[in-house]
Amino acid sequence: MDSDYGVPRELSEVQKKRTLYQPELPPCLQGTTVRVEYGDAAIAADPAGAHVISHAFPHTYGQPIAHFLRKTAVVPDAKVISEHQAVRVGIVFCGRQSPGGHNVVWGLYEAIKAHNQNSKLIGFLGGSDGLLAQRTLEITDKVIASYKNQGGYDMLGRTKDQIRTTEQVNGAMASCQALKLDALVIIGGVTSNTDAAQLAETFAEAKCATKVVGVPVTLNGDLKNQFVETTVGFDTICKVNAQLISNVCTDALSAEKYYYFIRLMGRKASHVALECALQSHPNMVILGEEVAASKLTIFDITKQICDAVQARAEKDKNHGVILIPEGLVESIPELYALLQEIHGLHGKGVSVENISSQLSPWASALFEFLPPFIRKQLLLHPESDDSAQLSQIETEKLLAQLVETEMNRRLKEGTYKGKKFNAICHFFGYQARGALPSKFDCDYAYVLGHVCYHIIAAGLNSYMATVTNLKNPVNKWRCGATPISSMMTVKRWSRGPSATQIGKPAVHMASVDLKGKAYDVLRQNSSSFLLEDVYRNPGPLQFEGPGADSKPISLCVEDQDYMGRIKKLQEYLEKRIVKPGCSQDVLKAALSAMSSVTETLNIMTSSSTGQTPLSH
């Protein structure tokens, strides 16, 4: 199997043309000199968990943020690196494939060769399994040639398992030492970057010379925080899915007799569903975050959909399109609790055949109520991160069946006077995640690859490559490096009136912000989406011409560029208006203003951290 990796692909004419596309680099990454400015020490976003994180990561917590500077930048304290030793860098795909991943490899390869031709980039074959087994492939011009701007992870292969156990961590360290790696680059999402932080901490403690760098690549779009505006692959996934959804919308409008229930890949967070809804304007989208916030049961959701079907029928519309995130099943309280019981029994070694007989009475009643196909899917073993196998649980079919039953009841009673309800179900995920990456994902991934080299050249460990100001053109992107530990949070579980269980620090997935601008756009349009057929077809993913430069709507409507704002604030603080010799009036005005700002910030900080949310 290893002999299949890195083999030149058989390319179509479109693929061949895509290999010729050369992504642009921001000014701060151009040339062969690395200029880095270090900011303040990065702290955890959740101060309540900071002591837990710092205790778990004593060697890598509290490191400064790094900004990479353009040649013309005048920063006296910047570190300038103009001589570059040859380096040996390992790179590994972890987690599920996401469009654009190959361009991270390409960008890193070009960067290390541009700075020293004797440097080596070594790919691990088969993901984390290959890392532990030291199965490698040296990246060369020939290897990379047919993978530029291409989808999938088939150049090196991948796994979705975590590097979690002491044995696995030590095995990874042994591989890095045996291969004399100066750095290890891990490409993946929240789980993979949590693993990267743990490896970096262990390596630092053991005085292993290998530095560890993380790269935010996941189709789910759930590795999102003040430092990471979006992830590689999210744009492509949403564009491909949005076109498929809009094709279905057109079909629904043409036949006028079907309701389409479409489940979208994206894990527990609903970012993909939200973005696809903004792009294609379906009649409904059920966001997991809305369901969790309102504690809606499966019957509440069923009623909500049935009421919508009835309202549309009154306008002589007997068709529609409903989007469902694959993580919805974990957002419905009673189904989540049932899954927790099932997973707990799995953990105790109970066989699949015997689980149903050992459920608590209420869980058993719910389990028996569910259709046989859902029961079988809920009994699947959890993933390596203990989450349910969401891609295998057909929530769309469950909802379609429940809605059909209720609509038939209403039809029989005479409360519903529309046509007989007909449902067609789809699951969109695998169709999109191997797609040719969008222009944005090609650019973003390639730039992140170059940022990885800058991080390595600066000798940084346990950092994630970051690019901000992404909604603007590439020449305005800000490139930097952020300590992974500063993106971590600590979950807490209620175990009774006075008992709280504290979890391990991790980079946790970010949910859709129900106070954010992207959600607000959806909320403002939800009524017209529901009752009017304002379907929008963005067309196939474009590489040239109209639409080629478009970016995710959810990225463009949000207030981003956190790093730019941090730098602007620092510039304000460094101004020397108030210094010995200034007038009393200037001093009084400055003190009054700073006192007011400090008081406001203290109130905001205490209100956001005074009560740490508990996980259900």
| CATH classification number, 235-434+516-554, choose in 3.40.50.460, 3.40.50.1110, 3.30.43.10, 3.90.550.10 | 3.40.50.460
The 3-state DSSP class for residue 376 equals helix
SS3 at position 539: coil
Distance CA 157, CA 101 (A): 11
Contact residues for 96 (Cβ-Cβ < 8 A; gap 6+): 158, 160, 218, 219, 433
How far is 442 from 437, CA to CA, in rounded Å? 6
Q: Which ranges constitute the DSSP H helices of 379-426?
A: 395-413
pLDDT score of 422: 96
Residue 211 corresponds to which amino acid? K
**CATH 3.40.50.460 occupies which residues in the chain?**
235-434+516-554
Please identify every stretch of the chain with a pLDDT value under 70, giving residue numbers as ranges. Answer: 1-3, 160, 385, 494-501, 560-561, 563, 566-567, 569-584, 586-587, 604-616
Q: In what order do the strands lie in the sheet with 284-285?
A: 284-285, 320-325, 259-264, 423-428
Positions of CATH 3.40.50.450 in the chain:
24-233+437-494
What is the predicted pLDDT for the residue at 612?
Answer: 42
Contact 535, 283 (CB under 8 A): no
CB atoms within 10 A of CB 327: 32
Residues 378/338, Cβ–Cβ less than 8 Å: yes
The reply to whether the predicted model has a pTM over 0.95 is: no
Give me the pLDDT at residue 580, please. Answer: 53
Find residue 323's DSSP bridge partners. 262, 285
CATH no. of 24-233+437-494? 3.40.50.450
Contacts of 25 (CB under 8 A, 6+ apart): 446, 447, 450, 474
